[in-house]
Amino acid sequence: MALRKEHVTFCHICPNHCALKVIVEDGKVVEVKAAGGSGFPVHMCSVQKGADHLIGTVNSPDRLKKPLRRKGAKGEGKWEEISWDEALDTIAAKLLEVKEKYGPERVVLILGEPKGMEFAFAQRFATAFGTPNVITPGNYCGVQNTEALRYTFGSRYIMARMDSNPKVIVIWGANPAHTGGTFSNIGRYDFNRALVSGDTKLVVVDPKNIEIWPEKGMRASDADYWIRPRPNSDGILAMGMIKVIIEEKLYDREYIENWTVGFDELCKEVATFTLDEVEELTWVPKETIQQVARLYATNKPGIIGTGNALEGSVQAFQTLRAICILRGITGNVNTPLGGHVELVPPKYHPPGSFMLGDLKDRLREYPRSPERTICGPDFGLASRFGYVPTQALVHALLEEKPYLPKVGLAFVTNPLLTYPDSKATEAAFRKFELLVVSELFHTATTRIADIVLPAAFLHEHDSIAYWPAWFANIRANCKVVDPPGEAWSDMKIINELAKRVGLERYFWENEEQALDYMLKPLGLTWKQFRDEVKYLHGKSKYDPDKVAGYGTPSGKVEIYCEALKKANVDPLPRFKDLKEPLMGRFELSEEYPLIMTNYKSEIFMLSGYRNVEAMRKKSLAPTTYMNPETAKELGLQDGDWIYIETYKGKMKQRLSVQPGMHPKVVNVEFGWGDHVYEDANMNLITDYAPPWDYPTGSVTLRGYPCKVYKAPEKE
């Protein structure tokens, strides 16, 4: 009889992190389903991608199984298998040589979105080794939102409240049904209940007619308002709404007086522009802006969920600040009637303390200071949050300024597809003397590596999932099957590498000890957490009788923020600056009369897994959406292969016409380029050059002027 085991663990594909029941027979995953009844959150995307992804990845014949060393020229695709000892000794010797000859900052850690603890381990390694150069996608993912929340309300952990049906839900630049990109703390059941309750008005701000409730066929076009702004004009739209609320006095005067600072400055700012200008820049009729502003300001609770579309632009931080101010002046945060509430996270070692907390001696010797990084001192807030913007690495490698990085250690990331300007990124990464990539599969990035390390997937080892930390919750991800071949978890790779470069005192004998350390402030061991607790979430500060207060220096909602001023960042979002993502090279022209933006795949996670058959079967070819009239004018038909061209070059996707879209908008699918459809990579036509968002280092990913024309099926 087959040996059968059932595990409850968590999906890590999207920020919903649903509880999954994984059934294993004779050491093989045979079934994955929603862990309904487990008491843990289960949203379950309608396409069930979590299950396909888990089964498909653990059973994939393409998994990397042994450490590989490059044979022949870079990128030639010739490899020899080597032992872990040889791989780690080779890497350790190079790290020590570079540290001795040039200094530890020449070693760069290159990280992607955390799955389990690998990100925290890599950050800790960087601190212990002495390099401040940790590159993460924080420059265009999440940080703009969490830091805008922190500077405005004094906490990163501000979440939508769903104990009663909100009167208004605004989905702004996020596609929760496909990506979990916002409202991850709200169960799908609660969300859908609100939609059918009759109490709730829905506003969607998105160029795409996104699915809202796929099983019912409900889309943005069924919402009370479907606003289709010009890509990257969201900050201006938010300022327009603020202007209406102020000029029509739709705010609560007593609350503004008692609980906010800087309202007068804000009033002065909104007097500097007109609603006609807002209409012209955002392509949203001013009547719609007025109606939605009135709706939001006068119906509480109101919740606004923002997504990644607002985070990748040269004014990303101030765009998110403007939306925070919109929530703030309507009394929608930490108030009895408000739609958002602050959470207090459980008392585990937060990632920041894990990365730096007990490494004070190392920090004295090798400070994680902006001056030592490859982007230098003049980088707003980014380096304070422990990352260097991705494009700064590409600049440093290509221009050898302020110095040339020598070694790149990449974990859970595929920069050659995900950084803006794939060609420049490839040219830059080829300049590493040693590029090490830890991966599940071969990718565009492993192909130009010197050493490739086979990584264990999250479900093939024990780990704590704390990502995204801003949801204030942690989960036990238990091992359900063995990794393939000789694959190791990233935690183990880093732990063992640390021992070989003389840093064992900062690491552990084995990874379980690190998990125990992470949980110590909770009085739990890893085994207790895994077997008895599994999931901890933040406690809500919601008080139905009074304003719960704010953790800002003033104790109030900081519309005008002194702390930002001290950091050399504008203390208030300015209309004139919010126009920046629409000016200069982002202006439409005769040659490039349309505007490109992008969305993420429903089926795949970022650039990964295009080789996993179960998922490929569910996915369409790389799809670009356009208005049918525009397509007709260009002589294009639904289903045609098209070129999308910007001043950086062209790439190829398949056209799908979508009625109701703005006629000038071209919405392409992000993430393609590995295994199939290699010329469908949108980062072939984006740019890594400045201007960048000064506070967070964000770079413009969307909003490029483009042209579209028919491509042959095959070339």
- Amino acid identity, residue 490? D
* Cβ–Cβ < 8 Å for 366, 114: no
Q: Residue 619 — φ and ψ, nearest 5°?
A: -100, 150
CA distances from 318 to 310, 314, 570, 579 (A): 10, 9, 8, 11
Half-sphere exposure for 555 (CA within 13 Å, toward CB): 5
The rounded distance, in Å, linking the Cα atoms of 282 and 240 is 10
Give yes or no for residue 307 binding ligand MGD (CB under 6 A): yes
> Whose Cβ is closer to ligand SF4: residue 45's or residue 456's?
45
Among 43, 161, 228, 243, binds ligand SF4 (CB under 6 A): 43
Q: State the minimum distance, in angstroms, from the CB of residue 377 to ligand MGD.
A: 26
Among 21, 24, 29, 50, binds ligand SF4 (CB under 6 A): 50
> Whose Cβ is closer to ligand SF4: residue 49's or residue 579's?
49
Look up tokens 């040039």; give the residue.
Answer: 102
Q: Count residues contacting ligand MGD (CB under 6 A)?
A: 64
Give yes or no for residue 159 binding Mo ion (CB under 5 A): no
Residue nearest to ligand SF4 (CB): 50
Among 7, 9, 13, 256, binds ligand SF4 (CB under 6 A): 13
> Whose Cβ is closer to ligand SF4: residue 19's or residue 392's?
19
The rounded distance, in Å, linking the Cα atoms of 537 and 623 is 37
* Cβ–Cβ < 8 Å for 294, 681: no
44 binds, among ligand SF4, ligand MGD, Mo ion, none (CB under 5 to 8 A by kind): ligand SF4
**Does residue 593 have a cis bond before it (omega within 30 degrees)?**
no
Residue 85 region by backbone torsions, left for phi larger than 0, else alpha for psi between -120 and 50, else beta: alpha
686 binds, among ligand SF4, ligand MGD, Mo ion, none (CB under 5 to 8 A by kind): ligand MGD
Q: State the minimum distance, in angstroms, from the CB of residue 158 to ligand MGD.
A: 16
Contacts with ligand MGD, 61-100, as mask; x by CB under 6 A = ----------------------------------------
Q: What is the largest CA-CA distance in the chain?
A: 76
DSSP state of 504: G
666 binds, among ligand MGD, Mo ion, ligand SF4, none (CB under 5 to 8 A by kind): none
Helix (H) or strand (E) holding 607: none
Among 141, 256, 382, 410, binds Mo ion (CB under 5 A): 141
43 binds, among ligand SF4, ligand MGD, Mo ion, none (CB under 5 to 8 A by kind): ligand SF4
The rounded distance, in Å, linking the Cα atoms of 72 and 84 is 21
Q: State the minimum distance, in angstroms, from the CB of residue 45 to ligand SF4.
A: 3
Q: State the minimum distance, in angstroms, from the CB of residue 528 to ligand SF4.
A: 25
Give yes or no for residue 156 binding ligand MGD (CB under 6 A): no
The rounded distance, in Å, linking the Cα atoms of 204 and 209 is 9
- Name, in order, each residue with C-beta under 8 angstroms of 114's C-beta and a sequence gap of 6 or more: 120, 412, 465, 466, 467
17 binds, among ligand MGD, ligand SF4, Mo ion, none (CB under 5 to 8 A by kind): ligand SF4
Give yes or no for residue 418 binding ligand MGD (CB under 6 A): yes
Q: State the minimum distance, in angstroms, from the CB of residue 56 to ligand SF4.
A: 13
The rounded distance, in Å, linking the Cα atoms of 702 and 681 is 14
Give yes or no for residue 9 binding ligand MGD (CB under 6 A): no
> Whose Cβ is closer to Mo ion: residue 240's or residue 468's?
468
Q: State the minimum distance, in angstroms, from the CB of residue 33 to ligand SF4.
A: 10
Q: Which two tokens stand for residue 371?
A: 């001056």
Contacts with ligand SF4, 137-176, as mask; x by CB under 6 A = ----------------------------------------
Q: Residue 302 — φ and ψ, nearest 5°?
A: -125, 135
Residue 383 DSSP SS3: helix
Return the closest-CA partner of residue 371 out of 388, 391, 354. 388
Give the interface segment with ligand SF4, choosing from 11-19, 245-253, 538-546, 585-593 (CB under 6 A).
11-19
* Cβ–Cβ < 8 Å for 487, 63: yes
Among 11, 135, 169, 205, binds ligand MGD (CB under 6 A): 205
Helix (H) or strand (E) holding 453: strand 451-454
Q: State the minimum distance, in angstroms, from the CB of residue 290 to ligand MGD.
A: 18
Give yes or no for residue 45 binding ligand SF4 (CB under 6 A): yes
Binding positions for ligand MGD, 591-610, rule CB under 6 A: 597-602, 604-608
> Whose Cβ is closer to ligand MGD: residue 207's or residue 697's?
207
- Name, in order, each residue with C-beta under 8 angstroms of 329's C-beta and a sequence gap of 6 or more: 242, 245, 246, 251, 256, 260, 263, 266, 557, 559
Q: Residue 354 — φ and ψ, nearest 5°?
A: -65, -35
Give yes or no for residue 455 binding ligand SF4 (CB under 6 A): no
Strands 407-411 and 434-439 come out as: parallel
* Cβ–Cβ < 8 Å for 2, 25: yes
Give yes or no for residue 108 binding ligand MGD (CB under 6 A): no
Q: How large is the C-alpha radius of gyration of the chain?
A: 25
Residue 596 region by backbone torsions, left for phi larger than 0, else alpha for psi between -120 and 50, else beta: beta
Return the closest-CA partner of residue 548 out of 344, 699, 286. 344
> Whose Cβ is closer to ligand MGD: residue 66's or residue 600's?
600
Binding interface with ligand SF4 (CB under 6 A) = 11, 13-14, 16-18, 43-45, 49-50, 180
Binding interface with ligand MGD (CB under 6 A) = 14-15, 112-113, 115, 118, 137, 140-141, 172-175, 178-181, 205-208, 210, 229, 231-232, 234, 307-309, 411-415, 418, 420, 438-441, 443, 455, 457-458, 490, 597-602, 604-608, 667, 670-671, 682-683, 686, 701-702
Binding interface with Mo ion (CB under 5 A) = 141
